[in-house]
Amino acid sequence: MHTVPDQPALSRLFRMQWEEAQGNYVLLYPEGMVKLSQSAAEILKRCDGARTVPAIVGELEQAFNCGGLRDDVDDFLRVASERGWIV
């Protein structure tokens, strides 16, 4: 099992961008593309290598006026780490 970095950043192997044809954000990499859900995109937008995981959670909870997102964010970041999306 991968551990989540304290200050996650998008891997240099991937580029996130809005894809008009898909109608949502995607992760581009040399071999293809990953279509992201809205929640995945919102988390990855904040993975800049400067924000800590608690800061990311706090920003998301404030932006979407809800609480209790820590477990969901941790789960997603663990999967993103396993897939090499974040470092």
Q: Tens of pLDDT along 48-57?
A: 999 999 999 9
Q: Output the pLDDT for position 3.
A: 82
Domain carrying residue 34: 15-82
- Report yes or no on 8 lying in a domain: no
Report d(CA 78, CA 20) in Å as an integer: 28
More confident residue, 1 or 47: 47
Q: Does residue 64 sit within a domain?
A: yes
The answer to whether position 78 is within a domain reads yes
- Using CA atoms, how far apart are residues 54 and 71, in angstroms rounded to an integer? 11
71 CB-near residues (< 8 Å, 6+ apart): none
Please check the confidence at residue 19 and state whether its pLDDT lies above 80: yes
Tokens of residue 16, six digits: 């996130």
Tens of pLDDT, residues 23-42: 999 999 999 999 999 999 99
41, 23 in Cβ contact below 8 A?
Answer: no
Domain count, the chain: 1
Residue 2 within a domain: no
Look at residue 6 and tell me if it is in a domain: no
Whether residue 43 lies inside any domain: the answer is yes
The CATH number of residue 76's host domain is 1.10.10.1150
* 1 domain residue, yes or no: no
Confidence of residue 1 (pLDDT cuts 50, 70, 90): low
